[in-house]
Every structure is written in structure tokens, then in C-alpha cells.
Amino acid sequence: MSIKHTLNLDQFRFHDRNRRLNESHVKKLASSIQRIGLKNPIIVTNTGVVLDGQHRLEAIKLINKTAEKPVRLPYIKKNMKISDIAEMNGHQVQWRITDWIHYHAKGGNENYILLQEAAEVFSPIHINSLSTFLHDNDTGFGAASRTVTEGRFVYKMTPQKEAILDKLQELAKVDSMWCSKSALMGIMRLMRDPNFNHSRLFHAIELNFESILKQSGSGNWMKHLARWYNKGLRQGKLNVNDLPSHH
């Protein structure tokens, strides 16, 4: 298919399922284009919907606001469907988990819509962390990135999970380490122990708050929190050595 060039950028439009624009990336891309030019054309449908290249389009728009000589945008029209957006863009490194969540939510997947709503409710806990914690998986493990990107994420909120998120949200107001993914995953690993009780965990955290230090990795968080959880207990202790090492 031939590459065409145009100054009429208003003929192109985005679809709700395009990933969200990163303004910082647009500015960096605009600077690069001004130095070395635009290497790759954008891809659009026959009706002008952008399938691939929304950041390139916005970068050219940004340049042309002040350029003495406007830059012509190269583009290729393809007879493709909106559903091809993810497949085309998925080959690019820039697509993040949040882009995929946005894509599936805009496509009407109720699980991803609920996940986005949970991210708003439990901010500042990141949606990436929530996608792992709130995935319904009979094995007790969270969702891997591939599960999320492929549209196989299944949302499941339980009273215990909600209580844990509420507590972490409160703690994060005092120290941001409590909204880290590794801290949440450390708790998730403790939840696999049949003796685990979330009320006991947060009671122990409150009693020993000043002694609990930021950890690197969910495994270290699991062991660190288990230490304070077990402190003073004669029965019902957590045995982290018997828990699976992955999540």
C-alpha cells in the first residue's frame, strides 16, 4: 500500500480504544522528529480512525503550531477493523498494562471496568497492583501480565480483600511504601496460609508501626510482616517457609 502525505491532520481521529496519550512522550517525539524527521507513517482505517501512530500524529500537530514550514504527515490507509488496534500496537514496547486495561474497558469488558473503578476508590494503590490482587484465580495466585493483556482478567472483590485495601489506603497516607506493589503482593502471599487473619495483621502493624521498614520485593515483605504478625502468638502462627515462593 502506498504512503501518502498530508497537511490536513483534522481528517484523522482517535477511537476510545486507542491507548491514552502520554504528553511527555509526544513532546520527546516532536523534538526527535524536528531533528531527524519522521521515519514511520501512521496507520489509519479507510474512514480515518488511527490504528497506529496517535503519538506521531499529536507530535506533528505540536510541531505545526509554531513551525514556519508545516510538516507533512505520512500515512497509510488500511482496510482494517477497530479491533485490530490492540494487535498492531501490542508489538510496540510502549504499550503498558494500563494501556491494555483501558483498551479492554473501552471495549465493554465488565471485569476491566470494575478494575478501573476500584483503582479510583483505592487510590493511590496502583491499578497494576490491583489487577494482580483482585484477579479471581482458584490457585490463589494473582494475574500475570499476560492474563491482563489478553483480556482474561476476572475481577473478584471479597470482604477480606476490601478490608485489606481500606487499611493499606489509610497507611499510605502516612507512608507511601504501603501502596507499593511489593507490599501488597507480600500480604497476598501471606493470605495463602490457612492461619492468616487480616485483622490480626493490621493490629500487629499498628502496634509495631515504627519498627516496620520498607522492603525490596514481595518475598521480603512477606517475611518481614510475618515476623510482626507472629510476635507474641502461641498458636496460629504463619509459617512462611511452607508458602509458595511465586505469585
**Alpha helices of the chain — where are they, by DSSP H?**
23-36, 54-64, 84-89, 97-106, 110-121, 127-133, 145-149, 159-172, 181-190, 198-207, 218-230
Confidence of residue 243 (pLDDT cuts 50, 70, 90): low
CA–CA distance, 45 with 80 (Å, rounded to integer): 6
Q: What is the pLDDT of residue 246?
A: 47
The phi and psi torsions of 52 (rounded to 5 degrees) equal -150, 125
Contact 209, 173 (CB under 8 A): no
Residue-wise pLDDT for 172-213, tens only, equals 999 999 999 999 999 999 999 999 999 999 999 999 999 999
pTM: 0.64
Confidence of residue 10 (pLDDT cuts 50, 70, 90): very high
Cis amide linkage into residue 41, ω under 30° from 0: no
DSSP 8-state secondary structure symbol assigned to residue 71: P
Residue-wise pLDDT for 119-128, tens only, equals 999 999 999 9
Mean pLDDT of the chain: 86
Task: Average the pLDDT over 14-42 and give the result.
Answer: 84
Cell numbers 500500500: residue: 1
What share of the chain has pLDDT > 70, as a percent? 89
